[in-house]
Structure 1
């Protein structure tokens, strides 16, 4: 005896719209079937978008410019700014550099080259109050990192850093500064080296500030030797 067949179970699942599954999906029908106000506003926004961009540009054109007009207007630097180096002098004109080469040893970039030489009192070739002086002094600004370690290593305060920062050049060789470029200019009352030390003064007297300027004997020595050099030339 055959069993009666059961009726097929009816499916209770229904198809869902892809719009209901994905809330970000757009309806297939747009345009005339959509909201007319939204379509009009989107059209106007697309139309005036370039105009709004130019509006920002025009409004910025009339604002005060914050850019510094360099090199016409140079901004002053701080007092302790690390700029170009300078070899200083004593009040009578003698050089403070004694050719110890400690600055070259302290430089981490190997940018300083110094050659020392002995002062000769017999021939009148005295450039510093010490036993030696810096005969050759060069700083390669292609290597210098302006760390000021050479300033800390100098025992006579001969090397300092100025506020001069315009060092750009179109020739690499011109960025190697020599002694005549680094040496401080002759101030009023100083005498150009070489010339003898102040009579009765020692090297330590110079660094203690006991020498305030050249003496008449030094001025006389410089006049005599400068006339001899001019006549020899």
Structure 2
């Protein structure tokens, strides 16, 4: 990855070269620099045009047929199959918390008379290595569920828009109080709003610090953009720089 920064110009980062900063920059929220170039790892194209149409067992049998009596060859196939089933087993025993959350959410909507328009969205994604990602995890097989209710501002009437916005934040507050801690839920970056109530800001900052490596991110910010060329009010509100971070610099 090539990252253009205000203080250090263009720097190159990778899993081998400054991996900590590399993974921070992969979800840098636009504050660490401008990503100018990325190199992606891809899978080699198969010489067999039918390879993508085969099931796992069909692929296994075809590979075994190449040298069915070759001991080392069969061992390699067996090891690959064992790894396949091991990973499959990990994904075939979900905790079901994702569906439990949805059931509790629907019950909460009924109880609180929340008027969300359909659909209530739920998506799944694999974990990410970037520590600033909302779905970051050290577990290779971890799966995250993303849930959201959308309240559309499909009106130009200022009073109605204000009422819808207030209703949305009321819904957010109810779900946070009732469900988030129970299911280890956190806001997605695209959905975070800086609270208008100043008393709520410290609570949000504490939540961000609990989930994300805020000090490491701030340290990188001060090294790459000390004059806050790329910064914005949202980043500065969410990630206040603590005194010991200044001293570490």
Task: Answer yes or no: same fold by TM over 0.5.
Answer: no
TM-score by length of 2: 0.19
* TM-score normalised over the length of structure 1: 0.20
Rg (Cα) greater in structure: 1
Which structure shows the bigger proportion of residues in helix conformation? 2
